[in-house]
Structure 1
Amino acid sequence: MRQTAVFGFLAATAFAAAAHAEDAPYEGDPNWSMRALLGYSKTGGNTDNSAGNALFHVAHVWNDWKFLFGTEGLYGSTKGETTAQAFTVHGQANYNFTPKFYGYLGAGYSDDRFSGFAYQDALTTGIGYQIYNDDNTKLTVQGGVGYLWLRKEYLVKDDIGGVIERLDYDPNTGIPYEQEHSVAFNGAANYEHNFNASTKILAGVGVLSSKDNTRTNATVSLQVKMSTHLALAAGYQIVSNSSPPAGSGKNDSLATLSLVYDMKNPKLAPE
């Protein structure tokens, strides 16, 4: 039931835009916006590390509706052994009551293989407000309630951080990890500002808080345009879980340098 509800909503959001569009989006279409990001690093010699990250966000407006879909991935290895692996997918459908005030329904799935959580899934609903939405500055805030499903796991790691074994119980107490589910508060803010024609900053924060765990995801990125569609971006992300299982830390951080491809218009940011 959990996966059916979450993935059903995500699939509906992802394909809603295509269902309402007669043709593929063209250059300058005011109803479409897309952002893709790809980064990779490799070190050799005394150290042997590889890391890659990817992001894809798309937004589409149809009448009073706005559909948002996004997915992010991360992979890292040390000496050929996986030491980081995460995947998230999320979707949201906004209905505009006024040009600035909207209601939303959303869903998200998070699978971070090194966080101590086997999964964290959520269905959300609430209201939002566009505080700023001009050519240079965009700021949107939203908040509401939803439902969160999660399951913890105990990670047994080796000296370089690779996972040797995943346990579905706490070895310190012998108590098994069951699926936890509860009502949750959700809130988010997204900000974008153009300093000039080639440089802008993007920042966002999202909170999902229940009696079982509070997950906070904050990102900031400085983007410098190289051409009409291509840019370089330096970013930083921190993900915090208030109640991780035994053996796992509360905070994970990620610094990236990535190539960005944008197909967008100045009035529609893919939050």
Structure 2
Amino acid sequence: MQHGPQWVVCFAAALCCPAFAADPAGAPPSGTADHGPWTGSAELGGVATTGNTETSSLDAKFKLNYTSGPWTDTARLGTLHVSSSGTTTANRTYGSLDSKYALAPSDFVFANLRGTHDQFSGYSYQASASLGIGRLLAHTRRVILSTEIGAGYRQSRLIGGPTGKEPILRLHGKFQYRFSRRAHFSQKLTAIAGSQNTELEVVSGLTTSITGALALKVSYTVLHNSKVSAGLKKTDTFTSINLVDHF
């Protein structure tokens, strides 16, 4: 697990529209039981060492989808905690709710709620709500590419500072390339821009199916805030290896 400035090349892309709810990047591997409108996944990774060095880490993520007609609702929740010799070096909890309505096979509208608490970002919390539109730009057997843009409102608070409120522009996206039925690469981008701060999150991942609904995922996350408290770095990075259970 690393923290520090990193150079990253990312492009705008977004979640597939509800008309393509069976997104290969998030869909269960072949052979998984059909659960009707409900699908989801749970990820878990962790390391613990004792002796000369005492460290522990926990990376847990949960996603739940519900699809009914043109509507697709998605809830996400995650937490990351790392400590070394009794000192916490990473502590982040985040969650989001998305509701999408398909207007056409390649067009949709969305509503998004998002909240984060990151002890080492300099912010006690950042919470936003936004509305917007999206379009699926490509959907083939191997490639998915789409864009999503919207506007909304954010409330945030620097640790030890005042609460800030401001209008925002939100861009969210996704690119995916499927190597085979069992392996794919994905990259997701979320950018929330306001006059007081710009949040940027880029998550790159390589997922491969192990057996049935179980998969192994290696991911690299870049988090950036354009405004942070004095003495803090603007960019953090995290590398994780998790087991993923699709249901």
What TM bracket, shorter-length normalisation?
A: 0.7 to 0.9
* 128-137 or 204-213: bigger deviation: 128-137
Matches within 5 A, 1:150-229: 150-153=156-159, 168=160, 177-229=161-213
Bigger strand fraction = 2
* Distance apart, 1:134 and its partner CA: 4.2
How many residue pairs match? The answer is 216
The answer for the alignment partner of 1:141 in structure 2 is 147
* Distance apart, 1:210 and its partner CA: 0.3
Instruction: Return the letter of the residue paired with 1:46.
Output: N
Is residue 28 from structure 1 mapped to residue 34 from structure 2 by the alignment?
yes
Select the residue among 58, 71, 76 that pairs with 2:82: 76
Is residue 251 from structure 1 mapped to residue 235 from structure 2 by the alignment?
yes
The answer for the alignment partner of 1:121 in structure 2 is 127
Select the residue among 221, 225, 232 that pairs with 1:241: 225
Instruction: Return the letter of the residue paired with 1:193.
Output: Y
The answer for the alignment partner of 1:89 in structure 2 is 95
* Distance apart, 1:132 and its partner CA: 2.7
Q: Deviations over 1:122-159 (max 9, x none)?
A: 00111011223344332221001110111112xxxxxx
* Distance apart, 1:99 and its partner CA: 1.4
Bigger helix fraction = 1
The answer for the alignment partner of 2:48 in structure 1 is 42
Instruction: Return the letter of the residue paired with 1:33.
Output: T
Q: What 5-or-longer segments of structure 1 have no aligned partner?
A: 1-25, 154-167, 169-176, 264-271
* Distance apart, 1:52 and its partner CA: 0.9
The answer for the alignment partner of 2:57 in structure 1 is 51
Q: What 5-or-longer segments of structure 2 have no aligned partner?
A: 1-31
Instruction: Return the letter of the residue paired with 1:116.
Output: G
Instruction: Return the letter of the residue paired with 1:241.
Output: N
Q: Which has the larger radius of gyration?
A: 1
User: For 1:36 and 1:136, how far apart are their aligned partners in 2?
Assistant: 24
* Distance apart, 1:240 and its partner CA: 0.2
Q: Secondary structure of 1:196's partner?
A: coil
Aligned CA distance change for structure 1 residues 245 and 184 (closer, same or farther; 3 Å): same
Instruction: Return the letter of the residue paired with 2:174.
Output: N
User: For 2:189 and 2:240, how far apart are their aligned partners in 1?
Assistant: 17
The answer for the alignment partner of 1:230 in structure 2 is 214
Identical-residue share of aligned pairs (%): 23
Please report the TM-score for the alignment, with normalisation by the length of structure 2: 0.83
User: For 1:70 and 1:83, how far apart are their aligned partners in 2?
Assistant: 23
User: For 1:82 and 1:254, how far apart are their aligned partners in 2?
Assistant: 15
* Distance apart, 1:74 and its partner CA: 0.3
User: For 2:184 and 2:212, how far apart are their aligned partners in 1?
Assistant: 14
